[in-house]
Amino acid sequence: MNQFQPTERTQVKRLPKRGRYDYETVYQILDTGFVCHVGFSVDGQPFVIPTNYGRSGDTLYLHGSAASRMLKTLSAGVPVCVTVTHVDGLVLARSAFHHSVNYRSVVILGTARLVDDPAEKLEALRLFTEHVMKGRWDDVRQPTEQELKATTVLALPLEEVSAKVRTGGPVDHEAD
- Identify whether 107 is part of a domain: yes
**Residue 108 belongs to some domain of the structure:** yes
Mean local confidence (pLDDT), 2-12: 90
Within-domain flag for 170: no
For residue 172, being part of any structural domain is answered with no
Structural domain includes residue 2: no
For the stretch 56-107, pLDDT in tens is 999 999 999 999 999 999 999 999 999 999 999 998 988 888 888 999 999 9
Stretch among 20-24, 76-80, 145-149, 172-176 having the lowest mean pLDDT: 172-176
DSSP letters for the chain: --BPPP-TTTS--SSGGGEE-BHHHHHHHHHH---EEEEEEETTEEEEEEE-EEEETTEEEEEEETT-HHHHHHHTT--EEEEEEEEEEEE--SSGGG-EEEEEEEEEEE--EE---HHHHHHHHHHHHHHHSTT-GGGSPPPPHHHHHTEEEEEEE--EEEEEEE-S-----TT-
Give domain status of residue 11, yes or no.
no
Model pTM score: 0.90
Task: Write down the mean pLDDT value for the chain.
Answer: 93
pLDDT for res 120? 96
Question: What's the domain count of the chain?
Answer: 1
Q: Which phi and psi (to 5°) does residue 53 adopt?
A: -155, 170
Q: Give the domain extent around 146.
A: 16-164
6 in any annotated domain: no
* CATH number of the structural domain spanning residue 148: 2.30.110.10
